[in-house]
A and B are shown apart, each in its own frame.
Chain A
Amino acid sequence: MKYFHLIWAALFRRKTRTMFTLISIIAAFLLFGLLNAVRVAFTSGSDTLAGNERLVVASRFSIMTGLPQSLQARIAAIPGVEAVGHQNWFGGVYQDPKNFVFSFAVDQGYLDLTSDIVLTPEQRQAFAATRDGALIGEALAAKYHWKVGDKIPLQSQIFPQKNGDKTWPFEIVGIFKTTKDAPDGRDQMFFLNWKYFDEANMYSQHSVGWYVVKVSDPGNADKVAQAIDALSANSDHETKTQTANAFNASFAKQIGNIGLIVEAIMAAVFFTLILLTGNTMAQAVRERIPELAVLKTLGFSNRGVLALVLAEATVLLLLGGVIGMAIASVLAPALSKGSGGMIRLPPIGAGNWVEGLVLMILIGIIVGVLPALRGMRLKIVDALAGR
C-alpha cells in the first residue's frame, strides 16, 4: 500500500491518455453492468430455494390448454405434497391495451403457498370474503394510484363475462409488499378470485390454467412430479410437472437465447477493451523505461517493478470499472422507467459486482503482464543509455 502514490503518479503522468483510456473502460463496464444483469436474469436468475420447493403442473399439450379443477384434490392426496394452489392467466388491461396488467385468477391455496408476497390476515380474509376482491402489488398500486377500496374496471383480452361484456369490475381489498428475494415483477401482480372468474366467464368452466404445488422436501421433488404426471397419464388432460425454476427458465428461453446474445456482445466488448488498454499500458511503460531503470538503481527488485506495473494496470481497470458499474446501477432503473415498461432491466446486485470486480482484476493482469515483464527484464545500463 505504501507504493500507492507512486502507482497513482505513474498512472496520471499523461493525464489525457489515462483519461481517454479510463473513459473506454468506463464504457465497457457500463455495458457489462447493464447487460450482465439481463444475462443472469435469463439464465441462472431463477435458481432459488423457493423455486425448487415448488412444482408447476401444466398441460402437456400447451400452457394455453387448461386442466380440470378436479385434479386439485387428487394432487393434494399424493404423499410429499404439502399444499396445492392454482392460477389462471386473466390477460387484463386497464383502459387501454397498452396498459397491461399482470393479472391472475388464483385460489386461496395459492396464496397459502406463495412465500414471496406479504399479506396480513385481514387482507387474506377480505380477499376471501369479497367476490370481486383483488390483491395488488405495491408497484402496480403506485403506477395507477390505486388505493384499498377503489373500484377498478379491468378489460380481459381473453375472457368476456357471461353477458359478453369484457370489462370486469374489481374492488381492491389489499395492497401487498413483496419479500426481498422475490423475483422481479412480483410487485406488479394483480390477483383476483378464481371463483368469481370461474362463475362469471363465458368460456372456461371448472378449468384452471396451471397448478402450483409445494413439496415438503425439495429432494423429493422429482418423485412427486412423476406421481402427479402419473395421475393423468393417457387421459385427455395429460400434465407436465416441473420445478418452478425449470418452468421459469424454459419460459425465458422461449423469448430467445438472450444469454448467448449477451455473451457474444460482451466478448466483443472485452476483446476490444483488452487490446485498447493493453496498447495504452505498453505505451506508458515504453515511455517510462528510463524511470523504471532509476527505480531499479534505487534498489527495487525485478519482481517489485513487475508488481508496480501490474498494479498500475489493475488500478486503472478497477477505477474505470467501478465508475462504469456505478453509472450502470444508476442508469438501469432510469432506463427501465424512461422506456415506459418496454425495456425492463433488472437491478445490479451484489453477484454482478463480484463478477465485475473479478473481471476488472483479470483484465488488469492480462493487459499489464507483457509491459510488466518488459519492465522486469530491462537492464539498467541499457535502459539508462536509451538503447
Chain B
Amino acid sequence: MKKFLFGLGMTAVVIAWLVVWTALPWFAVLVLAVALVLWLLLTRGGRRTLSVTRVGLSTLTQRLGSTAVIVVGIAGVVAVLVALLAMGEGLSTTLRQTGSDDTAIVLRGGSGAESNSVLTRDEIDAIEGAPGIVRDAQGKPVASAELVVVANVPKKSDPKNDTNVSIRGVGDEAWSVRPNVKIVAGRKFQTGLRELDVGANAQRQFAGLDLGNQLKLGGQDWTVVGVFASGDSYESELWGDAKSVASAYRRGNSAESVIARLSSPSVFDQFKAALTSDPRLKVDVSTTHEYFSKQSEGLSKVIRIVGITIGLIMAIGAIFGALNTMYAAVSTRTREIATLRAIGFRGLPVVVSVLIETMLLALLGGIVGAAIVWLLFNGYTASTLGSNFSQVVFQFQVTPALLWTGIKWALAIGFIGGLFPAMRAARLPVTTALREQ
C-alpha cells in the first residue's frame, strides 16, 4: 500500500514537473542550471554529490552499449521531432512572410483562394476606384489585377511526374505593389511577349526553368528571361504578362484577384467597407498578410500535430530504454551506493548524482539529434500542394527555438528515465543492499 502511494506520488510529481518544464523559458532553465552548478560547488551536500557523480561518470566507459541506448534513443526522438517541426515551420514561415498589412487582396465573394475567383473588367475598375489606394505620379491607382493559372511542370527530383505550378499573369503594377520582389538574374518580361520570370524557389525545385529555356504552356512556347527573389511564397511561381497568359489560357480580359497598395494599414477598414457596400460588387477583402497566414494554418497545424504525436510515442520508447539502462547501472552499483550511505552519505546526493548522469547523457543525445537535423535539413527545399491547387516551395527551417524544443524534450526524457532508478537506489535499505550480489 505504502509502495503504491509512493509510486502515485512520484507520478504526480513527474507530471507536475513536466507541465512546468514545458512552460519554462530558456533563461529560467539557465538560472536553474547555474543554481545547480553553484550548489554542487559551494555547499557540503553539493560537493558530496559531485564526488558521487564523478564515480558514476567514470564507469560510463565500461558500459558503452547501454549508455549508447540512452544517447541514440534520445537523439532519434529529437531528430524526428525537430525535423517534422522544421518542415511545418518552414511552410508556415514562407506563407506568413507573404503579404503585408498595407496591401489588400480582393477576391470574388466566398472564393477562398485565387484559383476559385473570377473578377470581370467592370468589377476590377470599380475596385481600383475605391478610396484608400495609393496613387502614383500619374494619378493611377497602385493596384494589380492578376490571373493565376496552373501549368504542368515536372520536379527536378522526379522528372517523369508533372506537378502543378502557378503561372501568374501580371502587369507592371505587380512589381510596385510588392516592393520586396526583386529581379536577381536576367530581366523583367516584356509586355505582349510570351516571356516568363521564374521565382528563385521554383527554379530550384522544378525542371527546365533556367534562363533562356523554352517552356510549353497552353500549347505555346514561352521563354524564361529572368529570375526573381522575394523570400515568400511568390517565389514558387512563374510570372508572365497578364494579357499573354490570359490569351494562352483563353481567359479573356477577366482577372482573379486585385492586389492594392493602401496608403497605410489603418485605411484598410475604410477600403473594405467601401467595397463591401458597393452594390456592383460581391467580393471578399482581406489584407494580403491575413490571406496568406490563413493558408498555412491547416497544413502546418497537421504537420505540428503529427510531429508531436510521433515524437511522444518515440519518447515513450526512449524513456523506457533509459529506465532499463539506468536501473541496470544502479543495480550494478548497489553495493557501492549502500556503502556510501553506510558511511554517512544522505540519500539526496545519490539521487541527484544519478539524475545528473542520466540528464547529461540525454543532453548529449539531444545535441547529437539536433545537430544531425540541422546539418541535414536546415534549408532543405521541399514543396507541397498549396491553396491554388499548385505547388508551394519552402525550405525546412531548423530555428534555434526548435533546437531548444528538442533539447528540452531530451532533458525531460532523461529526467524521467533517471528519476525512478535514482529513487530506488536511495531507498533500498542499506543492510539489504550490502548483502546483494
Write the residues of chain A forming the contact surface with B, with a CB cutoff of 8 angstroms: 16-17, 20-21, 23-25, 27-28, 30-31, 35, 60-65, 91, 97, 155, 157-158, 164, 166, 203, 234-236, 238, 240, 249-250, 253-257, 264-265, 268-269, 271-273, 275-276, 278-280, 282-283, 335, 339, 342-343
Contact indicator B383/A256 (Cβ below 8 Å): yes
* Chain A residues whose CB sits within 8 angstroms of the CB of B274 once the complex forms: none
| B161 contact set on A, CB distance < 8 A | 249-250, 253
- Top 6 nearest A-B pairs by Cβ distance? A27-B317, A62-B150, A24-B317, A20-B320, A272-B76, A276-B321
B325: A residues at CB distance < 8 A: 279
List, in ascending order, chain A residues with CB within 8 A of B158's CB.
253
CB distance from A231 to the nearest CB of B (A): 15
Nearest chain A CB to B162 CB, angstrom units: 7
Separation of A97 and B162 alpha carbons in the complex (Å):
29
Contacts of A335 in B (CB 8 A): 309
Chain A proximity of B246: nearest CB distance (Å): 13
Residues of A close to B324: CB separation below 8 A: 17, 20-21, 24, 276, 279-280
Interface of A is mostly: helix
Chain B 311-325 near chain A by CB (<8 Å), digits 1 or 0: 001101110110111
Cβ contacts under 8 Å, B318 to chain A: 24, 272
B391: chain A residues within 8 A (beta carbon): 254
**Is the CB of B327 closer than 8 A to any CB of chain A?**
yes
Tell me the complex Cα distance, A30–B312, Å: 12
In the complex, B55 has a CB within 8 A of chain A? no
Q: Which residues of B contact A27 (CB under 8 A)?
A: 313-314, 316-317, 320
Choice from A60, A238, A273 contacting B317 with Cβ under 8 Å: A273
Measured CB to CB, the residues of B under 8 A from A are 65-66, 68-69, 72-73, 76, 79-80, 83, 109-112, 115-116, 118, 149-152, 157-158, 161-164, 217-219, 249-250, 282, 298, 301-302, 305-306, 309-310, 313-314, 316-318, 320-321, 323-325, 327-328, 382-385, 389, 391
CA distance A240 to B111 in the complex (A): 28
CB distance from B170 to the nearest CB of A (A): 18
In angstroms, Cα B312 to Cα A31, docked, is 10
Q: Is the CB of B305 within 8 A of A343?
A: yes
Q: Let me know if B149 and A62 touch, CB within 8 A.
A: yes
Q: A21 — which chain B residues lie within 8 A by C-beta?
A: 320, 324
Residues of B within 8 A of A20 (CB): 320-321, 323-324, 327
| A61-B151 in contact (CB<8A) | yes
B150/A63 in contact, CB under 8 A: yes
Residues in A neighbouring B65, C-beta threshold 8 A: 278-279, 282
Closest A residue to B65 by beta carbon equals A279
**Which of B79, B150, B317, B384 is the one whose CB lies under 8 Å from A28?**
B317
Is there an interface contact between A342 and B301, defined as CB atoms closer than 8 Å? yes
Could you list 13 further interchain pairs (A-B, Cβ under 8 angstroms) beyond the known A61-B219, A272-B73? Answer: A20-B323, A24-B321, A27-B313, A157-B110, A166-B110, A235-B219, A250-B162, A253-B161, A254-B164, A268-B314, A271-B76, A339-B305, A342-B305
Question: What is the chain A residue whose CB lies nearest that of B148?
Answer: A64
CB distance from B330 to the nearest CB of A (A): 12
Q: Is the CB–CB distance between A255 and B384 below 8 Å? A: yes
A283 and B73 form a contact (CB under 8 A): no
Inter-chain contacts of A16 with B (CB < 8 A): 327
Given A157-B116, A265-B310, A276:B149 Cβ within 8 A: no
B298's partner among A24, A236, A268, A342 (CB-CB below 8 A) is A342
> With A and B bound together, what is the CA distance between A318 and B250 in angstroms?
61
Find the residue from A24, A97, A253, A269 having the highest chain B CB count within 10 A.
Answer: A24
B321 near A256 (CB under 8 angstroms)? Answer: no
Please report the C-alpha to C-alpha distance between residue A254 and residue B83 in the assembled complex, in whole angstroms: 20
B317 touches A17 (CB 8 A): no
Q: Complex Cα distance A235/B320, Å?
A: 65
- Across the interface, name the chain B residue whose C-beta is closest to A234: B219
By a CB distance below 8 angstroms, the chain B residues around A234 are: 219
Most buried by B among A28, A61, A155, A257: A61
Contacts known (A236-B250, A268-B76); A62 close to B151, Cβ less than 8 A: yes
Question: What is the minimal beta-carbon distance from B26 to any residue of chain A, in angstroms?
Answer: 26
- Report how far A22 CA is from B86 CA in the complex, Å: 31
Judge whether B112 and A157 touch: CB under 8 Å: yes
- B372's nearest neighbour on chain A, judged by CB, is A268
Q: Which residues of A contact B316 (CB under 8 A)?
A: 23-24, 27
How many Å from the CB of B81 to the closest CB on chain A? 10
Instruction: List, sorted by A's number, 18 A–B pairs whose CB atoms are closer than 8 Å.
Output: A20-B321, A20-B323, A21-B324, A27-B317, A27-B320, A35-B310, A62-B150, A64-B164, A65-B249, A166-B110, A234-B219, A265-B80, A269-B76, A272-B72, A273-B317, A278-B65, A280-B324, A343-B302
Q: How far is the CB of B70 from chain A (nearest CB, A)?
A: 9
Report yes or no: A164 in contact with B162, Cβ–Cβ below 8 A: no
- Cα(A265)–Cα(B112), bound, Å: 34
Bound CA span A324–B66, Å: 24
Assuming the contacts A16-B327, A61-B219, A279-B66, asked whether A24 and B389 have C-beta atoms less than 8 A apart, the reply is no
Chain A residues near B327: list those with CB within 8 A: 16-17, 20
User: Residues of B contacting A271 with CB < 8 Å?
Assistant: 72, 76
Q: How far, in whole Å, are A378 and B156 apart by their CA atoms in the complex?
A: 56
Closest Cβ–Cβ distance, residue B378 to chain A (whole Å): 16
User: Which residues of A have CB within 8 Å of B321?
Assistant: 20, 24, 272, 276
Q: Which residue of B lies closest to A253 (CB)?
A: B161
Compute how far the CA of A25 lies from the CA of B157 in the bound complex, rounded to whole angstroms: 35
Are A31 and B313 interface neighbours, CB within 8 A?
Answer: yes
Whole-angstrom distance from the CB of B318 to the nearest CB of chain A? 7
Interchain CA distance A155-B79 in the complex, whole Å: 44
Q: Which residues of B sit under 8 angstroms from A282, Cβ to Cβ?
A: 65
Q: A23 to B320, Cβ gap below 8 A? A: yes
Contact of A64 among B73, B118, B150, B250 (CB under 8 A): B150
User: Interface centre among B115, B152, B317, by most A CB within 10 Å?
Assistant: B317
Known A-B contacts A64-B149, A268-B76, A283-B328; the reply to A24 vs B110 at CB < 8 A is no
B320–A157 touching, CB < 8 Å: no
A residues in contact with B382, CB < 8 Å? 256-257
Given A91-B116, A255-B384, residue A275 in contact with residue B69 (CB < 8 A): yes
Q: Which chain A residue shows the least CB distance to B328? A: A283
A23 touches B76 (CB 8 A): no
Q: How far is the CA of A62 from the CA of B151 in the complex (A)?
A: 5
Inter-chain contact A24/B302, CB cutoff 8 Å:
no
In the assembled complex, which residues on chain B have CB atoms less than 8 Å from the CB atom of A265?
80, 310
- Which residue of A is nearest B318, CB measured? A272
- Would B164 and A63 count as touching, CB distance under 8 A? yes
Tell me how far the C-beta of B88 lies from the nearest C-beta in chain A, rounded to whole angstroms: 12
Per the bound structure, the CA–CA distance linking A113 and B313 in Å amounts to: 44
Q: How far is the CA of A63 from the CA of B391 in the complex (A)?
A: 13
Q: Would you give the shortest CB distance from A74 to chain B, in whole angstroms? A: 19
Interchain nearest-CB distance for B350 vs A (Å): 20
